[in-house]
Amino acid sequence: MRILVVDDHPLMAEALGLAMRTLDRATEVESAGDLRAALERATQVSFDLCLLDLALPGCSGLEALERMRESLPALPVVVVSGSDDPASVLAALDLGAMGYIPKTSPREVLLGAVRLVASGGIYVPVEALKTREAAQLALPASASGVAGAGTAADLGLTSRQWEVLELLLKGLPNKLIARKLDISENTTKIHVSAVLRALGVATRTQALIAANRLGLRLDP
């Protein structure tokens, strides 16, 4: 696995790199100190995963994630941030992050989260969703109706809708989903709406969290 670490603090970048190299002997890690360098390197090398700090020079808040997702929509991005407030977590997931890891997390949590995302899962920090405000933002009551569902048949989805769900949960925008499945954007919107209804949710972020709770796994 090839991982790109994007953090402007050399000590943090080094610590993340050392941790990632313990995942597997074959794991290769590169680091970049700013978004421009990260995007330039990612266009030259095919990475399997990106660990992204949100507090990068020249970027404010979630701008780094937005630009990364826009430039490299197929690259799974996990946010590693000093902030763990629920609003930031949910906002990052809504922008297509496949996980959000607070920098205060123990090493074991970090490694577990990366393994989960690398295997096609979605990592949502439970602690960040424990407040009442986060719970209200996260999942509506209707989402409880899909508990126990784990396959397309369980959710009442067609095979095509399941494909859309997989790409949706990887953070791909409708335009890229349409391109990958060779269907129109209008058809994609119809399928996305059907998927959200099946999960009992209204937004992509809620779909991500619902899928995490259901234990859905995507093809890596």
Q: Which of 76-80, 128-132, 160-164 has the lowest mean pLDDT?
A: 128-132
* Residue 184 in this model has a pLDDT that exceeds 50: yes
Buried residues in 140-163 as b, exposed as e (16+ CB within 10 A): eeebeebeebeebeebebeeebbb
Relative to beta strand 2-6, strand 28-32 is parallel
DSSP 118-141: HTT--B--GGGG-SHHHHHHH--G
Main-chain dihedrals φ then ψ at residue 31, nearest 5 degrees = -130, 155
CATH topology of domain 2-135: Rossmann fold (3.40.50)
Which position has the token pair 């779909």? 207
Q: Is the pTM of this model over 0.75?
A: no
Residue type, 186: N
Domain 139-214 matching CATH 1.10.10.10: the answer reads yes
Domain chopping of the chain, boundaries: 2-135, 139-214
Q: What is the pLDDT of residues 151-177, one digit of tens each?
A: 556 677 888 988 898 888 777 778 888
